[in-house]
Amino acid sequence: MSLEWEQTIVDARDPRALGLWWRGALGWVVVNNDPAEFEIRPTADRLPGLLFASVSEPKTTKNRLHLDFRPDDRDAEVERLLALGATRADVGQGDQTWIVLADPEGNEFCVLGSRAL
C-alpha cells in the first residue's frame, strides 16, 4: 500500500482570507481560489498543501493538531508573523524554546528555536 500526504484541512469562517494570510506567512502559492475551499501549496506541483474549508462556527478550543515551523531566526520570524496579524497564544506550554502563536482565526502553531547540531 502507498499513501501520499495530499493536504491538511483547516476549518475557517473565511477560507479565502485565512488562506491568503497563510500564503503570505509561508510564501506559498494559491492553487485553488474557490472561496469555500481555498488551497495553497509550496509550489503548484508540490505537496502537501493547506486547504481552508468553510465552516459556520468559530473555533472554540485548543487545536488537536497543529503545525510546527523551524526558522533560521525564531525571534525575527515571530516578529514578522505578529506584524502579519498572528497573536501570541497560551496553551499551557510554560517556558519553552518554542513560541506558540495563533493565526487570525485562532489556530495555534509553533515557531521553534534553532535546531541543535
Domain span(s) for CATH 3.10.180.10 in the chain: 65-117
Determine if residue 106 is left, alpha or beta; phi over 0 gives left, psi from -120 to 50 gives alpha, anything else beta: left
Q: What CATH number labels 7-57?
A: 3.30.720
pLDDT at 96: 84
Burial of 103 (0-12, 13-18, 19+ CB in 10 A): buried
pLDDT digits (tens, 9 = 90+) for 91-112: 888 888 899 999 999 999 999 9
Task: Give me the mean pLDDT over the 59-74 stretch.
Answer: 92
What is the CATH class of 65-117?
A: alpha beta
Evaluate if residue 62 carries a pLDDT over 90.
no
**pLDDT class for 51, splitting at 50, 70, 90?**
very high
Backbone angles phi, psi at 5, to 5 degrees: -75, 110
pLDDT digits (tens, 9 = 90+) for 20-30: 999 999 999 99
